[in-house]
Amino acid sequence: MIYWDYNAAAPVRPEVASLLSRAFSQGGHGNASSVHAAGREARARLDAARARVARVLGCEPKEICFTSSGSEADALALVGAWHARTSPERRRLVTTAVEHPALLGAAAQLEREGAQVVRVAPGPDGRVRADDVLAALTPDTALCSLMWANNETGVVQPAAEVARACRQRGVLFHTDAVQAAGKVPLSLREVDADLLSLSAHKFGGPSGAGVLVVRKGVDVRALVPGHQEAGLRGGTQNIPHAEAFALALELAASEQPSLAERVGALRDDFERAVLECVPGVTVNGAGAPRVPNTSNLRFDGVEGEALLIALDLEGICVSMGAACASGTLSPSHVLRAMGLTPAQARGCLRFSLGPDTREADVRCVVDALRRHVPSVRALTA
């Protein structure tokens, strides 16, 4: 099998799998809120994991809130910060039309509650212009959310520039960094965000483990009341997942420079080969800065789902877009926001490479596309 769907979920790293196996089989299941010896041991493990995550991200341990996913982190950031705002006259929320469905869902919830939500459109290359976001930051803006890197196209957004402008204007800034981790240098020194979301299963950690960074002095109202996580998230913490998150993040950060160079070269070779041997192909996001592992291709006159199935029958795993939106009949909201027609958007596939990708895989996928695109195109015509 050739697995090219790392943006949906990366395989769990062997080191992380070993850690989880030991954690669940060798005892040490105390509740971190208990005062007895087992509880104190659990608290020490949780605190150590929190400190390790903070060290990688360049923040303080108490600014780390463990969650169950990136989607929960996004919802806690938007809904929690909105409900905790101290200036109720600030009723504007600025975000973009290319955010992850979890973020857009949280924004839609707030819109139903009376927020004025502004969704800034990207250019044809999928990148949102910083000036367009800044123009939307009126004095009544409470919160701005701009993803660091897009999950479908890989386009890197101007998060650092927008974060600086928000801080100057007294607007809280959140970035969904789920697709940036392990692909670009990830640090709050790079993007000075008030709130930042991550999910472990994108960089070799387990599914069901996320983090929301909440910078000191930022108020967030819990979605689940409770005393855990400094009152930000009620419920007994999953300590093995916190430790697994920390380990996966450390490994991803240490490997990122060399991995980005190697995988980026493979991605570029893949795109170059496909454009040379398959007619009617366009790279979505070409010309914009992108994370090195992601290629979103439009195949003119092709039904993307049929091509995806043809590749799957050869053991090649790719996707049509966000994993969270798979199974829907609607074309990608990201590609539609970039100006593609519904038919064009349905003819796109996302290829997301990873640490296990090799040159031989590139040759196999290119050959499969060379053979299958004409036949699928003939069926569509």
Q: What per-residue confidence (pLDDT) applies to 29? A: 77
Q: What average pLDDT is seen over the chain? A: 96
Alpha carbon of 29 to those of 20, 65, 102, 234, 237: distances in Å? 12, 20, 32, 18, 11
**136 within domain boundaries:** no
Q: Letter for the amino acid at 340?
A: L
pLDDT digits (tens, 9 = 90+) for 62-100: 999 999 999 999 999 999 999 999 898 999 999 999 999
**215 within domain boundaries:** no
Q: What per-residue confidence (pLDDT) applies to 280? A: 97
Contact 234, 222 (CB under 8 A): yes
Q: What per-residue confidence (pLDDT) applies to 75? A: 98
**189 within domain boundaries:** no
CA trace torsion 179, 183, 189, 192 (10° rounding): -20
**346 within domain boundaries:** yes
**269 within domain boundaries:** yes
Instruction: Give one DSSP letter per residue of 159-221, joined into a string.
Output: HHHHHHHHHHHT-EEEEE-TTTTTTS---TTTS--SEEEEEGGGTTS-TT-EEEEE-TT----
**84 within domain boundaries:** no
Domain interval for residue 277: 2-6+255-379
Q: Degrees (nearest 5) of the Cα angle 176, 180, 181?
A: 105
Contact 56, 195 (CB under 8 A): no
The domain spanning residue 342 has which CATH number? 3.90.1150.10
Joined tokens for residue 333: 């909201």
Q: Letter for the amino acid at 269?
A: D
Tell me how far apart the alpha carbons of residues 233 and 299 are, in angstroms, rounded to a whole number.
Answer: 44
**368 within domain boundaries:** yes
Considering its fold, how many domains does the chain have in total? 1
pLDDT digits (tens, 9 = 90+) for 253-272: 999 999 999 999 999 999 99
pLDDT at 324 over 60: no
**365 within domain boundaries:** yes
pLDDT at 221 over 70: yes
Joined tokens for residue 372: 């299958």
DSSP state of 290: B
Active-site residue, 364 included: no
Q: Letter for the amino acid at 91?
A: R
Query: Which residue in the list 59, 65, 144, 324 is annotated as catalytic?
Result: 324
Write down the pTM of the prediction.
0.95
Tell me how far apart the alpha carbons of residues 122 and 275 are, in angstroms, rounded to a whole number.
Answer: 24
